[in-house]
Amino acid sequence: MNKIRIAMLQALLRGSAEERREQIRAMVEQAAGQGIDLVTLPEIWNGPYQQELFPSFAEPRFGPSWQLLSELAAEYGIWLSGGSIAEYGDGKVYNTAYVFDRSGREAARHRKMHLFDIRITGGQHFMESATLTAGDRVTVFNTEFCKMGLCICYDARFPELFRLMVDRGAKLILVPAAFNMTTGPAHWELLFRQRAVDNQVFCVATSPARDMEAGYHAWGHSIVTDPWGRVVMQMEEAEEIRFVELDLDLVDQIRAELPLLAHRRTDVYRLEQLGAK
């Protein structure tokens, strides 16, 4: 059987970027001694999740957070989905996720494609586009287990992006995410179960822990859903490291038994990627 053992780090991070890096180092070190293949981190861990502050702690590619993640992956011989960080380049700021392979090589980089601009009556108001620039690439990468896709939080609300990743071979989708106290209770579990069952993939969505002293209150509840739409694991809101083992052969089994991807009417409709590849 084609199994992968994952450690999901629902981290509660505070302080300076340097202090946050040390917290991440300690959590990865704790998880890596458990015989795992892949560690996953949450969205925007190198500073507060506040739109007006993103430029103040953004780092360049190959900066200190990138270096830390690369070193940890190589030191422990693990795959490391490094959550996402505020990244600057070409005079712009992005919400960027990285994945590193067992040698510490950058295997994937995804810039959040859909920016979180919402105004909910009596609920959340957030405008990522005030300081962030959107990415424009569909991100899929190879591992010894299977092809995996990578996107960030609000990206997961767009079924077209998930289907494009699946069309490029993804069987597991990694999603560093930080839903809030308005959208989390309403849509978090529903969304990842739906994306999993529509695309017959595993979804692994890793959130920060909820910090009521922070300016942004994350929902937490890091979750794994399987290709049948079942919840394999879901945390609560507190900081936690949770281990989960997935049998990736289940993807092929379910796609063979209920071949919805093969039943698409491409003579009637078609989804294609435009622009950057």
How crowded is residue 180: how many other Cβ atoms within 10 Å of its Cβ? 20
Task: State the catalytic residue, choosing from 87, 153, 203, 237.
Answer: 153
What's phi and psi for 229, nearest 5 deg?
Answer: 85, 10
Distance in angstroms (rounded) separating the CA atoms of residues 47 and 49:
7
Biggest distance spanned by C-alpha atoms of the chain: 55
Residue 43 bears catalytic tag:
yes
Residue 29 bears catalytic tag:
no
Task: State the catalytic residue, choosing from 43, 59, 87, 128.
Answer: 43
Q: Sign of the CA dihedral 24, 30, 31, 35?
A: positive
Decide the pairing of beta strands 3-10 and 240-247. Answer: antiparallel
Task: State the catalytic residue, choosing from 59, 87, 112, 203.
Answer: 112
Q: Which residues are catalytic?
A: 43, 112, 153
